[in-house]
Every structure is written in structure tokens, then in C-alpha cells.
Structure 1
Amino acid sequence: MVAAAVLVMGAGQALAADVKVTDKTRAKGMADAPALLTTSGVPCQLSDAHFIGESTATATDGKKSKIVVYEVACQAGPGYILAKNADGTIATTFNCTQAWSQNAIDPKATKCLLPANVNHYAWLQEPVQKLSTACTVNNARWLGSSDEAKIDRYEVGCAAGAGGILDLARAGSANTSTFDNCLVMELKKVTCQFTTREQAIAAIKPLAQKASASCQVNNSRLIGRVTADNEDYYEFGCANEAGFLVRAKTNGDYLAKISCANAGTLGPCQYTDSASLVAGQNATYTATLKQAGINCTVEAYNVVGTQTQTNRDFVEFKCPEQAFGVMGFFPNEGSTAKADVFDCYTGIARKRECTLTPATVLLANLDALAKADKKDCDVQEARYAGLTDTDGVLVELACSNKRGYIAALAKSRKTFEDIIACNIAKNRAGYETCKIPGNGTYVSDVKP
């Protein structure tokens, strides 16, 4: 979490307004600064310094203490404001961009005045240049810091075009520095001051052009970021056609286009009438399933994700003709892979959970089949263990009376190919055994 702190000079001593750089303040600053820099650990080859003055600092517990404040300029990197306690320890260390940002919020906060520090943002050109060669930094403000992650966050303005958000990793941080489009900050309810929204959208238009060269972009937003995968999801609106989503790397590399009709949990789209697209997609999927030999009038669907190695979408469907659901992998344009369609029984056995078909529906069918096989079993739980050689599903059934069975559900889903008790299954070499805790522990009450 990035949090901000404030260095504020004592009330009644408006140092930010009253302080001036003189030969006297410079002489004292240059004399005292080397020791201050050593104590603070600030990386600075001193080029200039001056003594700002004395004031008081108020701690979080309300206690006040006397502090002595200096400004230093460095041969490289930022300049600093250093506040020393009366006992000689460093109370606070702010670079000049941090100090400028706090002064913009509270005029009582001291700011840098030395000539070398007037362009307080100049030092950010080097780290920004490594991440965005098109940016010539012409302004910056500090947004906060994370001491745990060792990151400082700045908004950076660029002389031409869009600026962005710089997360600058400190020395020793396990993180790397990043430079993000200002749309990233909209998710955090922060508005960039040095970049307009139109400039921010223009900066990411190349992503839209890769998804659809004909799209006349009229709006965009960042939907979310998957930090673990270093991926961003953007929505684009088009003036001349349906909008879409784009999946991209956080460094700006394009990955894939996603239709608003297939937005799933990322949607609904805000810049496109998704409802009409979904209705059309229902009809398209109905035809696609028919080609695959599945009778399914699609009422709802959920695009779970994309299998990147085959360029196939994994989609789940709900339709009245298929009581046990339909799901599978469906090739996108350009894919050479075939469709792979199956029901929720097979899906769960293949570690693919169904969301449009309730698990209770599947369990109720297993219960009915067990009773039809004259088994004393009210099925309370099922464990899907795998697939059989005949496209059946191997399932463990746990009964309310602790009877348990291993069953092979037939491809038709209307009967079991085989069903045996847990105590028999465990004695069959190479056969699946019961693993649900307590299953198969039924003991008869009948006395011999």
C-alpha cells in the first residue's frame, strides 16, 4: 500500500514563505551538511546547501520537539530537505519533489529553494527514460510511498503527449520500477494533474488498433490488473463499430482481443450495448454446438478463459436440452485446433467446475441412479475421480448412512456401467478406492 506522509514546519514559522538563500545560510549549510548526509544515509554528492531554520515538529502522539532544517543539492539525483532533532538524529528526510508536493497541499510545508533544486523534477528524467523513451519530464508530484515494498510513487508530466505514474523502486527493493498510463489511477479514484484523459487514451490507442484496425476509438478505461501475471485488461469504445476488451502486458505489449459478448466477469462493457451482442452470440454458439453434434439452444454462457497454446476459448453453456450442462474448448479465428465439448460430469472430472449448472442437479441424478440400482443410499456427496475408457465418469458416492460406493457413470448418464461397495473396491487391484472421510464405514445393526 502506498501511503503519503507530511513534513510540516511549526505554526507561526512559515519558513516556506519567509526563508531566503543567503551567503550566511549557505555557509552554515555547507558546514553542517556532510555530517547530516552521513547520519541520514542519503545518497548525495553534495554540490550546494543552506540552513533553512529552526522549528518544531509534532509527532503522531501530539508531542512537540525542536528541529533544525537544511536543504541540500546533489551532483546527481534529487535534492533533499533534512530535518535534524536537537540530539543530532535525523527526524525526516524528503526529496525536493516530495517537499514540493507537500507544499502544494500545505503552504506551511517547507520546499526547496536552491537554484539546482528549483526544477525539482529534473532528476526523474533518468528513471523515466529507461521506461518511456518518448517522455521529456516537465513536471512531477509525489503521490506516496510504501516502506514495505520500498517503492515511491510519482505522477510525471511529459513535454509532449501523455505522462504517467512512476512507481520507483528504491535500492534493495525486490520490485522493479514501472511507468503506467494515467488510466491505472482511475481505479484508485486518483486523477492525473499533468495529463488529460484524452492524452491518456491516445497513448494506448495502438492496443486498440492491433485488436481492430478499423476502430475509431472514442473512449477507454482500465478494467483491472492481474499483478501475478503482469497483465492489464482495457475496454475500448469505437465510434463506428462495437467496442471490445484488450488483454495486454503491463509494459504495453498486446496479447489478445476479447469481444464484449464474451467479457464474462470482466463485463459488462460500458461503451458498447453488450445485451444485443450477447443475444447474437447466443445464436452463434447454438449453431457452433450443433456443428459439434450437440443440441443446445443457448440461454446463457460464460467465457471462462482462453487456452493460449491452442487459441481456444473455454466456454460453459446453459440450455434446456442439456440437463447436465455443456462446456468445452472452442477454437478462435486462426486456431487449427478442434472443438472439445463435454458435460459437467466430465468437466468436473477434468477439474473444470461448472457455474451455470448447479452441483445439486448432478448429485440428484446420481442419487436417482443409485436407488434405481436398488442401493440403500441417499447420496450426500460425490467425488469425481476420473474418466473411464468408454467416456464414462468414475465417481465415489457417499451415503447418509455411511454406505459408500465406487460407480462408473455411463456415457448416457442414465445408468451406471458398474457400482460396487467401498469395502469391495478396496480389495480389487488397480481399482479406485473410496477417499471421502468416513465413507464406507456402515455397520449393520442386525445381530447374528
Structure 2
Amino acid sequence: MNIFSIARKLPAMLAATVLVMGAGQALAADVKVTDKTRAKGMADAPAILSASGAPCQIADAHHVGESNVTTADGKKSKVMVYEVACQTGPGYILAKNPDNTATAFNCTQAASQNALDPKATKCVLPGNAKHYAWLQSSVQTLGSPCVVNNARWIGSSDEAKLDRYELGCESGVGGVLDLARTGSTAKTSFDNCLVMEQRKVTCQFTTREQALAVIKPLAEKASASCQVNNSRLIGRVVADNEDYYEFGCANEPGFLVRAKSSGEYVAKISCANAGTLGPCQYTDAASLTASQNATYTKVLAAAGKPCTVESYNVIGTQTQTNRDFVEFKCPEQVYGLMGFIPNEGSTAKIDIFDCYAGVARKRECSLTPATVLTAHLDKLAKADKKDCDVKEVRYAGVTDSDGILVELACTNKRGYVAALSKTRTSYEDIVACNIAKNRPGYETCKIPGNGTYVSDVQ
């Protein structure tokens, strides 16, 4: 009898379980259920089942046979093999090992191994004919319309106490079931076969077209006009219980969709805003960028920020408000723009500010160099008749009047604390470091060595 592990590469969470009861006599092809094998099975199986720990109220049993094995010390021995059908749940192949321990694995696992090697023992009792039937209740609990008509075991994790199965469906669409065992802290889940495709494993009972059909409603919610011609699962954020998909359209630019792992639509994401999720594979990047530049130009104009967008950078997404954080470069805004742009479905407000405010909020611009900002601060200091060639700037915060509080360090060691006006055209106030430190409530200079100028005049 040859009972071996399924040699398939599994996701990092799972490792193939090795179920070995010995190798030798091939009984699988000629095992028959008789009154004699049933009698012996019903007599012997309860004790072996109890020793194995498998949950089962025996409805039927039979003695499969004996398998000759070689133990670790090189001695020949026998393994007694039984099959049991249970009143509920899966049936099992049981083995009484030479050391009197017992091993059990279910009939779906046995069928999966037999499909790869016909010499591997499988269940033959009438009650186990539909070896996959026991998985139906788990799928129904998860709300899937799948009516299970086939299943294969992919692998197990004893550490996570999880077993993974692919399910075929008579109605509904098949997928991958991660079944948590009793005592597991993991959750049972049922995923589209696209999850397996991403992990380089192809579903056997569900075609790719069938798998794609399941997620097509997500594309329809994102864009009713999109004629979907391609799609893929990008990945899953386990902590958020969310999946990200890309859809290509024959008649318009494609997009990404954010959805709950259970299948509910959450939001549409433009490929232009894909950020670290991109680049999109089904949409031309150049034409998409030009289109998005025009879209952002309109959005900024509506927010009272004239800006003919030449380039932009999607830094990230604020998930709690469903807003993208984006930086912009345009000729009208010398000091750059950045801020939060609401995505479709967001109820949050747009929030746009220049790079001075961005740096003060600990968000530095990349499309507008820091040297541009520093040069303007230097120009304003000289306009205020300050003897200062600015070499370093510390942004201290935002004033009550939406000005920017800065510390200026000069090459001659003079230093100043200044409040850049909301219009950015002048300083509301600018005082030397040695004066600022003596004024209650004033920001003080903190750049090392700043404000240590000493006059040469004696």
C-alpha cells in the first residue's frame, strides 16, 4: 500500500502534509468490501479511530488490508488499514501502526493521492462515494452559492491547523477552501481561483473564464460602460481583509478595484493613481497619464487652485477617508502643490496646500525641489534688509494665520525666526535668534550654531 504526500508547491502559510502508512503491497486496485471485511472493520475500527483522534460516529467500516513496511530499525512489520464511513463529516482511512499508534486521513485526501498514484489507497465504502460531500456545509456557512461536486486536497499546515482544498461546483463557481480545524485561531475562508493563479497553482475544476466571471460584477460597479477584456488579482492585504483587482476595458482606460475578501465592492482606483499597486498591465501608461493630468487640472481648479498639471505623484491613499495623497507640478504654482484628493465614494473634503505647508506638516515635495523654497526665503530675507545668505532652513510649523513658521540659518552665523505670510510674498515677522529667545511664546532657534554671529566692531 502506497500512501504519499501530494507534492505541490503551497503558499507560504501551508506546507504539504506527509501522510505515510507504508509502501509495499498495492491494495488500492483490488480492494473489495465483503461481509467478512465489514465484520472485521466494525469490530476493530472503533478502537483505532479513538486512538487516531479523528471525530466520527461510525456508520460503516471495513478492513482494507495489511501493508508491509520497514521500520526505522530496518525490521519488517505490518500496518493494519481500515476505512470508516461516518454519520456526519468525512470518512477516513485508518492505520494501526507497528508501534500501536493510529493515523487517520479523510477520504478527500485519499482520493487526491489516488488521483496522482492509482496505487494509493482510496475510500470505497458506499457511504464515502461522494468523498467531497462533507465540505458543503463549510461553503454554505461562508455564503457561497457553490454546490460542491468535486474536491481535492492541496495541503495542510499543522502549525496553523488549516487544511486547503480546491472545490468544484455543480452550480456557482469553484474556488479554494482554507478549512480551519478545531482549536485553530485561523478563519475558514473560500477564495476565487484567481488567488491560486497568483500563486502559480491552476485550479483543476474551474476554468479561468469561470473564475473571472465571479469578479466581473466588481468591474460593473466601478464602471458600467467598461467592456472587460482582461482582469487579474493583484494581491490581498490580510490586515484589512481586502483584495485588489485590475480590469482592462476594450473601450476605455482600465482601473483597479478594491474589494473585501468576501467579495463586496469598496472603491475604484484609477490606474493613474495605482501607486505601489501599479503599474497597470492592461492600460497604456502614456495616454493614461495625459488624461489624468487633465482630470487633476479640473479638480484643482474647482478647489480654487489654478494648476495646469504637467506631472503628478501619487504618494499613497488615506484608507480611512478614501483619499489619495498626491503631489503636483504646474507653471501656475511656483511653490508646488500637494494634498488629499477624494476618490469616488469618499465623503471627505479635498485638502490642497503648497510645498511650504507640506514641509511644515512633515510631508516633503519631490516634484518641487527644496532649493526653490529656500531661494524664495532667502530673497524675502534680503527684501527685509537682513544680512543673510540662507544656507539652512528649519520648518517649525503653521501659524494661526496659515503662515509658515521657519528658522533661517545664514552663512555668516546670523540666524532668524520668521513667519512666512499666507500669500508667501513677505514675512509677517522676522526677528534675530538672540531676540526671539528673550520673547515669551516665540519660537527659538534650534539649528546648531545658529545666531552666534559676533560683530567685528569693538
Distance 1:335 1:58 in 2: 65
Q: How does 1:44-443 map to 2 (within 5 A)?
A: 44-52=56-64, 53-56=66-69, 67-90=79-102, 92-305=103-316, 312-319=323-330, 322=333, 324-331=335-342, 338-352=349-363, 354=365, 356-357=367-368, 361=371, 379=392, 382=394, 384-394=395-405, 408-411=419-422, 417-418=429-430, 421=433, 430=441
Per-residue CA deviation, residues 178-237 of structure 1 (Å, 9 max, x unaligned), is 111111112111111111111111122221221222333222211111111111111222
Distance 1:401 1:96 in 2: 84
Distance 1:3 1:63 in 2: 30
Quick one: which amino acid aligns to residue 279 of structure 1? A
Quick one: which amino acid aligns to residue 199 of structure 1? Q
Q: CA, structure 1 residues 281+442, in 2 after alignment: closer, same or farther (shift >3 Å)? A: closer
The alignment partner of 2:258 has SS state of strand
Distance 2:110 2:410 in 1: 69
The alignment partner of 2:183 has SS state of coil
Q: CA, structure 1 residues 334+144, in 2 after alignment: closer, same or farther (shift >3 Å)? A: closer
Per-residue CA deviation, residues 140-166 of structure 1 (Å, 9 max, x unaligned), is 111122223222111111002421111
Gaps of 5+ in 1: none
Quick one: which amino acid aligns to residue 68 of structure 1? M
Q: Is the 8 A contact 1:11 1:108 kept in 2?
A: no
Q: Is the 8 A contact 1:345 1:362 kept in 2?
A: no
- Give the stretch that moved more between structures: 159-168 or 340-349: 340-349
- Give the stretch that moved more between structures: 396-405 or 347-356: 396-405
Distance 2:164 2:239 in 1: 20
- Give the stretch that moved more between structures: 102-111 or 332-341: 332-341
Q: Is the 8 A contact 1:369 1:415 kept in 2?
A: no
Alignment correspondent of 2:17: 5
Q: CA, structure 1 residues 290+203, in 2 after alignment: closer, same or farther (shift >3 Å)? A: closer
Q: State the shift of 1:277 in Å.
A: 2.0
Distance 1:95 1:233 in 2: 34
- Superposition RMSD on alpha carbons, in Å? 4.0
Distance 2:206 2:217 in 1: 18
Q: Is the 8 A contact 1:9 1:110 kept in 2?
A: no
Distance 2:95 2:409 in 1: 70
Q: CA, structure 1 residues 117+388, in 2 after alignment: closer, same or farther (shift >3 Å)? A: same
Alignment correspondent of 2:9: none
Q: State the shift of 1:316 in Å.
A: 1.9
The alignment partner of 1:148 has SS state of coil
Per-residue CA deviation, residues 252-280 of structure 1 (Å, 9 max, x unaligned), is 11111222233232222222323212212
Normalising by the residue count of structure 1, what TM-score does the alignment of the two structures yield?
A: 0.81
Distance 2:198 2:318 in 1: 28
Q: State the shift of 1:100 in Å.
A: 1.6
Quick one: which amino acid aligns to residue 34 of structure 2? T
- Give the stretch that moved more between structures: 289-298 or 266-275: 289-298
Q: Is the 8 A contact 2:85 2:92 kept in 1?
A: yes
Distance 1:412 1:114 in 2: 84
Normalising by the residue count of structure 2, what TM-score does the alignment of the two structures yield?
A: 0.80
Q: State the shift of 1:22 in Å.
A: 3.2
Alignment correspondent of 2:54: 42
Q: Is the 8 A contact 1:149 1:174 kept in 2?
A: yes
Distance 2:74 2:175 in 1: 37
Distance 2:316 2:236 in 1: 15
The alignment partner of 2:186 has SS state of coil
Q: How many residues align?
A: 438
Q: CA, structure 1 residues 83+349, in 2 after alignment: closer, same or farther (shift >3 Å)? A: farther
Q: Is the 8 A contact 1:10 1:55 kept in 2?
A: yes
Alignment correspondent of 2:41: 29
Distance 1:290 1:110 in 2: 72
Distance 2:375 2:449 in 1: 20
